Amino acid sequence: MAIARLQVPATARAGEAVEVRLLVQHPMETGFRREADGRAVPMNVVNRLSVTYGGEEVFRAEMGSGIAANPYLAFWIVAKSSGEVVVEWVDDKGDKGRVAQPIAVS
């Protein structure tokens, strides 16, 4: 199971653009690597990731084997109202992850 670090400002002014930074700790196995005995390591990447803010999707990523281990994503959102920024993802094994961070808008 992957672990994520989400960084969102604790407070913002209404209409202000704020940066959301996310680091997902995941091995992101491509399926091309082999074990010492020659067996292929099965592909296992975070293939779907979505971010919601106040219940509305604001960012989505569909990743594949070309993404490095421990992917780092950064993007901007406009602070509209107080709420939670929620990140959810699923990998090829079906493991799911979720992390959330509140933001207070004045």
pLDDT tens for 29-52 read 988 889 999 999 999 999 999 999
Return the residue matching tokens 């990743």: 63
Please report where in the chains the tokens 């971010």 appear, as a residue. Answer: 51
Task: Please state the domain extents for the chain.
Answer: 4-105
Q: Is 85 exposed, middle or buried (0-12, 13-18, 19+ CB in 10 A)?
A: buried
Mean pLDDT along residues 15-23: 98
Q: What is the pLDDT of residues 66-90, one digit of tens each?
A: 888 999 999 999 999 999 999 999 9
Tokens representing residue 75 in the block: 């993007």
Instruction: Label residue 106 by pLDDT band (50, 70, 90).
Output: very high
- For the domain spanning 4-105, the CATH number is 2.60.40.10
pLDDT at res. 26: 93
pLDDT of residue 66: 84
State the DSSP string of 56-91. Answer: EEEEEEE--TTSPSS-EEEEEEE--SSEEEEEEEEE
